[in-house]
Structure 1
Amino acid sequence: MSAYEYKVVPAPARAEKVKGVRAPEARFARSVENLMNAQAAEGWEYLRAETLPSEERKGLGGRTTQWRTVLIFRRAVRESRRDDAGAPQAAPGAAPDRAAPAEAMPLPGVLRAGCEEPGAPPAGRRLWSVRRGDADGDG
């Protein structure tokens, strides 16, 4: 079984200025392309993009939710050393063994095909009821 380590990088918010490229869409695409090529040169494989909520402070006591887009990369962890008991051990500085992405626990409100329990309401509805409870002061 392969073990992976993951790297999460914020997606570019602004397009880089590139000589000879004028259209905003093309400049933004070039920015994403450069970021992905830089990660690939370090051995990272692009996995997917996610848009996730981030709760942030607003003013003195308020909070607001900002949606952030991140790019997720992974690479295989090489098992180069063995400990005294003979069990494989990951390379130094490597992330601990984690479940494969398909087996990982889904985030609340994120819909995935085939991950819903039979008879359960859709994930979006569950997320709404949690937010509603927080807004009413119940939770």
Structure 2
Amino acid sequence: MPRYEYKVVPAPAKGLKAKGIRSPVARFAHALASAMNELGAEGWSYLRTDTLPAEERAGLTRTRTTYHNMLVFRREVQEDVQLQEVAQSSPPPPTALELAFQAPQPVPRIAYEDAPEDAEDAPSASILTILQARRAETEDVNEIAAE
């Protein structure tokens, strides 16, 4: 399915003078044709003309609605541009913080009188488990301090 990009430009408000063109209508048509030919040379194809409302200031406190004629052009997006967009949309590599949450971490050792001194016996846990254990310890300390 082809993808398009769009360009919207204001329609000319005044005609352009040119050799052999005398009437205001012909000058306006010449200005319109010139604008369309310039964009056509860049690969844009004319799609339609729209008249759209816009609110503008009128004095210090009032606004008024004016209508503007806009020329709408479109052109097909090139395939290599689409491939670049897909390549750019691939997820970035994980950050160091994300890797830290995924990697197992050793559980902090609590010193007890009967605890074995072997570090090899310590199970590994995720950083989330470690943080939950520290939060529980902090809550216990706060409860003791509150009494």
Please give the range of the TM-score, normalised by the shorter of the 2 chains. Answer: 0.5 to 0.7
- Structure 1 vs Structure 2: percent identity of aligned residues? 51
Q: Which AA in structure 2 matches 1:65?
A: T
Is the partner of 1:56 in helix, strand or coil? strand
Cα 1:84–1:77 change in 2 (3 A) is closer
CA pair 79-21 structure 1, distance change in 2 beyond 3 A = same
SS at match of 2:53: strand
Corresponding residue number in structure 2 for 1:30: 30
Distance 2:7 2:40 in 1: 12
Closer, same or farther in 2 for the Cα pair 1:18/1:4, shift >3 Å? same
The one-letter code matched in structure 1 to 2:47 is L
Which has the larger share of helix? 2
- Classify 1:4/1:61 alpha carbon distance in 2 versus 1 (closer, same or farther; 3 Å): same
Q: Can you list the C-alpha shifts for 1:90-112, whole angstroms capped at 9, x where unaligned?
A: xxxxxxxxxxxxxxxxxxxxxxx
Rate the CA distance shift 1:35–1:84 in 2: closer, same or farther, 3 A.
closer
Q: CA deviation at 1:41?
A: 0.0
Paired amino acid for 1:42: E
Instruction: Give 3-state SS (helix, strand or coil) of 1:50's partner.
Output: strand
Q: Does 1:47 align with 2:51?
A: no
Which residues of structure 2 form unaligned runs of 5+? 91-147
Q: How many residues align?
A: 86
Higher RCO, Cα 8 Å, sep 6+? 1
Aligned residue type for 2:16: E
Which of 1 and 2 has greater Rg? 2
How many Å separate the matches in 1 of 2:22 and 2:87? 56
4+ residue runs of structure 1 moved beyond 3 angstroms? none
How much is the aligned-residue C-alpha RMSD, in angstroms? 1.6
